[in-house]
């Protein structure tokens, strides 16, 4: 079944550890996005990709990095986690991108809730 998957769903980790949040989609979408969401706050775009080997930083500055080696896979990495990285991270994908008139639908994963102690 075509879907978008995020793992882990929940992660509690100590300061200084390296973490990777996985995001995979089986919908064949070229566009993929990472949003960060603090409780009660808006979603902030931190990374996006329009295709393989294409990655750009979003509106919110983030110390995380991403890669897009395969169409279906868009992992996010924090080399050294800090308590300020505690947040929910949402991965999304779309076929046409948000700006194409008449579409604009992003499909979201279930999210990865990260807690850094």
Of the candidates 19, 25, 35, 114, which one interacts with other proteins according to CB under 8 A? 35
Q: How open is the CA angle 56-61-63, to the nearest 5 degrees?
A: 90
Q: Is 59 in the site for other proteins (CB under 8 A)?
A: yes
How many chain residues touch other proteins (CB under 8 A)?
Answer: 26
Residues 3-32 that bind other proteins (CB under 8 A): none
51 φ, ψ (degrees, to nearest 5)? 165, 180
| Nearest distance from C-beta of residue 52 to other proteins, angstroms | 18
Q: Is 1 in the site for other proteins (CB under 8 A)?
A: no
| Nearest distance from C-beta of residue 104 to other proteins, angstroms | 6
Residue 108's alpha-carbon distances to 31, 34, 74, 81, in angstroms, are 12, 10, 13, 24
List alpha helices for 16-82, DSSP H: none
Range in contact with other proteins (rule: CB under 8 A) among 18-26, 62-70, 73-81, 96-104: 96-104
Q: Taking a C-beta distance cutoff of 8 angstroms, is the pair 5, 24 a contact?
A: yes
């Amino acid at each position: 079944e075509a879907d978008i998957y995020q793992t882990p769903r929940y992660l509690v980790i100590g300061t200084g550890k390296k973490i990777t949040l996985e995001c995979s989609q089986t919908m064949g979408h070229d566009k993929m996005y990472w949003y960060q969401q603090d409780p009660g706050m808006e979603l902030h775009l931190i990374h996006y990709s329009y295709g393989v080997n294409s990655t750009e930083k979003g509106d919110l500055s983030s110390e995380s990095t991403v890669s897009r080696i395969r169409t279906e896979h868009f992992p996010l990495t924090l080399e050294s986690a800090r308590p300020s990285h505690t947040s929910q991270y949402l991965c999304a994908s779309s076929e046409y991108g948000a700006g194409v008139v008449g579409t604009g639908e992003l499909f979201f994963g279930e999210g990865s809730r990260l807690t850094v102690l």
